[in-house]
Amino acid sequence: MMIFTGALSAQTPSVIQNIRIPLWADLDAYPVMIGEEQSDDAGQYDYPIKSLKETAPFIIGGMVYGWEFYYTPSDKQRNVEEILEVTEIVSSDYVKDGIVYSSPWIEDGRFNCWCNFSRDASQIQNYYLWASIQNPIIQGKGYGSVTLGFEGLKAAANDALKNAVRAYYRNLIKNKPKAITGRVLIRDLPQIGIDSGRYVVNLDFFLECGKIIEYKIY
């Protein structure tokens, strides 16, 4: 079964100004808590709440400031493995304190809540700058283990970015490069689901192309 949170739809000014995302953490990912006697609900949900408070800044930081990437395509002839390195352009700590968590609920073994963030004037301007430049839009789907909690979701998001970058450059570059660099901004609400014990994350980005590093020919 697959369940999705968020909708991939065209951005509107209100969404750009006020990000509102329903996020969740799977209670089954924290088996130590299941079946135990708890003194109160707050203690019972400490682990999923912690996961949500890691997930929300990560996703919202990618929407507000974006990520930088260094991608190495696989090359069997050169015995090179595929690697993607992702770093935050601006630390997610800068959005963390501005996130408001509201209306929590438990459903189908998951702890859910709404995550709200209002961009300030400079952050809104940053979005419009990305949108106004002729940056291509790329899309990707990625997977990560639910049992890893936040780390699994982060892996799925990075996998989505890798697949988006690979698909875009595959149509542009004839010879496989040594590496590709660039920056991306999540342009719309993420689509996050679960299927067969894996997170499924669909993301679309504005892509700021960086360098294409070719192999040296001797």
Residue 24 clears pLDDT 90, i.e. is over it:
no
What average pLDDT does this structure show over 65-71?
98
**What is the 8-class DSSP label of residue 205?**
E
Q: Over range 86-99, report the average pLDDT.
A: 96
Tokens of 56: 């929300």
Distance between CA 185 and CA 16 in Å, rounded? 13
Question: pLDDT, tens digit, for every residue of 201-215?
Answer: 999 999 999 999 998
Element (H, E) at 70: strand 67-72
Distance between CA atoms of 5 and 23, rounded to whole angstroms? Answer: 7
Residue 212 has a pLDDT of: 94
Q: Please, which residues have CB within 8 angstroms of residue 1's CB and are 6 or more apart in sequence? A: 194, 195
26 pLDDT tier (thresholds 50, 70, 90): confident
Residue 30 corresponds to which tokens in the numbers above?
């924290």
Structure confidence at residue 48 (pLDDT): 87
- Please tell me the predicted confidence (pLDDT) of residue 130: 96
Letter string b/e over residues 128-147, b meaning 16 or more CB atoms within 10 A of that residue's CB: eebeeeebeebbbebbbebe
> Is the separation of the CB atoms in 142 and 56 below 8 Å?
no
Closest CA to 58 of 21, 32, 4: 21
User: What is the pLDDT confidence band of residue 123, given thresholds at 50, 70 and 90?
Assistant: very high
Choose among 90, 88, 77: nearest CA to 119: 90
Average pLDDT over residues 81-99: 96
* pTM higher than 0.85: yes
pLDDT at residue number 217? 64
Average pLDDT, the chain: 86
Query: Are the C-beta atoms of residues 177 and 214 closer than 8 Å to each other?
Result: yes
